[in-house]
Amino acid sequence: MLLPVSEHTWRTAAQTLYLRGCLPAVHALPRSAQASLGQQLGIERAFASNRQALRQWPALLYQQPRVNSAATKAVADLASEPVAAPTPASRFEALGLDDRVAALLSHIGVDRPTQVQTSAIPLILAGQNVAIQSHTGSGKTLAFMLPVLSLAIQRAEREYQAALQQGSKQTAGTLQAVIVAPSRELAMQIVRVGHSLLPQEARGCIQQCIGGANPHRQEEAMKLNKPLMVVGTPGRLGELSRYGVLQTHNCGMLVLDEADQLLAPQFAGDVSRLAAHCGKKLEQGRQTVVVSATLNPKVLVQTEAWCPNPQTVTLDQARVLSHHEAGPLREPSPEWGWGSIMHGRGDRLAPASTQGSAGGIGQEDMAPSLPPQLQHWWVGVTRQHRTDAARRAIHALDAQRVLIFMNFQSRLKDAAAKLKANGMVVECLSGQLSKQDRTNLLARFRKGDFRALIVSDVMARGLDIPECDAVFNLELPSDAAHYAHRAGRTGRLGRPGTVVSFAEPHEV
């Protein structure tokens, strides 16, 4: 009996057999796998033939022939029948993406666009200001990264061609896009997504600029690579802008990820500077995209100066609204969590405000958007017994990777110590760790070296761990928006997920 095999498995088999020289075996594979291999060969040969030019200017990379090169035909001819219809990546191309970007999607396991990507990509490619609200794990990052990268490549290519005709190709290298994220973890995740869409030789086109890293090295990388796109945190980007290292006057695209968080006082000054300088010298102005799982009219009004008259894409409503049509989003529902949390009188652990440790504004009236397949539970337990209840819940669910959220970093180590005392291997992830320590800790968690990772609200945004089985709220979030961002760490891209909150009855 033959079991069904996925397209991704066939493609991997074709690549492996080709590299081993087993062309007869490649001949026996399905036509779609052979066509996919031919596409990959065409791309890789185009890049390999131009590595020398790449050192001078990354846009040269994209002057090579398109994916439908002779290499595609050479491998496809091994089949006894004609090559089948286009691969799943062509469904992204139907949205208007540059085919050089769309062609690589199948190699990272992305075969078809999600709902939010289908709605947002054409609007961004059309040059409109766009506001995207969609639950965490729904594909928001690709929804803006794919069209922004497509536009950046095409504009850089035109710029280089014009400079080449004028005999001054060294003047090419204008920054095409700036992406701002409120946390280092989220910025690094965005960079990883962008790099996955490019071959190794082209990844210098996307530059990371975050706090905690050596600013001098970032400055040197900017001068050496002349990146098409810069991704970073507000403080570091603002610093580089003030020093003249980050030159954005001719930059045509600005993306504000987790825009509601960027409105927080500690970020607003730097973001306002970036918005004022980005595209300042462009006659047609700058295009802006704002993104968040929690956008409401209040946030859209406050981001109006950064992103005027946006087209609003909301996943829950499954349609695109104009700026004037986008009325109040749906009211909070008791199905997903809490509105405002009532603490007992004299409770020393009650938050001072509804803002929470993650900052941001307007959180109390946000309409959170959550993955529909999540299961939500709450466990009635006293505060002193919560860590033991969490340990038993992990075993009861047989969860292998659990994120445990607490409200403040100062309490993480105490909770970890209690769990370790009961024989559970856990670790803490806080903002006090260095960039390298955080990266190593997350890598170990993804590998399954330990079952539970305790984090604070500050770390809620930017964590991308698809294998996460469950999210535990050892302390209740301060409002519905923070609940949504915590819960969105599990059940990503349609996977199942469980959210368990531990509380006393009067807290719910």
Q: Residue 492: is its pLDDT beyond 60?
A: yes
Q: Residue 326: is its pLDDT beyond 70?
A: no
pLDDT for the residue numbered 461 = 62
| Closest CA relative to residue 468, chosen from 499, 427, 426 | 499
pLDDT for the residue numbered 77 = 43
Q: Which CATH code for domain 113-321?
A: 3.40.50.300
Residues 450-456 have a mean pLDDT of 90
Domains 113-321 and 370-507 share a fold: yes
Element (H, E) at 125: helix 115-125
pLDDT for the residue numbered 316 = 53
Residue bearing the bigger pLDDT, 185 or 205: 205
Q: With beta carbons less than 8 A apart as the criterion, state whether 260 and 356 touch.
A: no
Residues 472-493 have a mean pLDDT of 83
Torsion angle in degrees (nearest 10) through CA of 203, 141, 338, 477? 10
Residues 228-232 have a mean pLDDT of 96
Q: With beta carbons less than 8 A apart as the criterion, state whether 446 and 305 touch.
A: no
∠ at Cα 279 (273, 283), nearest 5°?
Answer: 140
User: What homologous superfamily does CATH list for 370-507?
Assistant: P-loop containing nucleotide triphosphate hydrolases (3.40.50.300)
Please report, for residues 169, 410, 417, 420, 430, the alpha-carbon distance to residue 414 in angstroms, rounded to integers and kept in the order given.
59, 8, 5, 10, 13
Among 26-30, 184-188, 306-310, 369-373, where is mean pLDDT lowest?
A: 26-30
pLDDT-derived band at 392, boundaries 50, 70, 90: very high
Among 28-42, 142-156, 221-235, 255-269, where is mean pLDDT lowest?
A: 28-42
pLDDT-derived band at 194, boundaries 50, 70, 90: very high
Question: How many Å apart are CA 219 and CA 352, to the nearest integer?
Answer: 40
Among 74-78, 448-452, 503-507, where is mean pLDDT lowest?
A: 74-78
> 3-class secondary structure for 60-100?
HHHHCCCCCCHHHHHHHCCCCCCCCCCCCCHHHHCCCCCHH
Map residue 313 onto helix, strand or coil: strand
Please report, for residues 199, 234, 471, the alpha-carbon distance to residue 108 in angstroms, rounded to integers and kept in the order given.
12, 29, 26
pLDDT for the residue numbered 114 = 87
What DSSP state is assigned to residue 361?
A: S
What integer best gives the mean pLDDT of the chain? Answer: 75
Q: Residue 483: is its pLDDT beyond 90?
A: no
> 3-class secondary structure for 13-70?
HHHHHHHCCCHHHHHHCCHHHHHHHHHHHHHHHHHHCCHHHHCCCHHHHHHCCCCCCH
∠ at Cα 450 (449, 452), nearest 5°?
Answer: 150
Q: With beta carbons less than 8 A apart as the criterion, state whether 256 and 310 touch.
A: no
**First vs last C-alpha separation in the chain:** 53
Q: With beta carbons less than 8 A apart as the criterion, state whether 261 and 360 touch.
A: yes
How is the chain split into domains, by residue range? 7-87, 113-321, 370-507
Q: Which residue's structure tokens are 């960027």?
A: 262
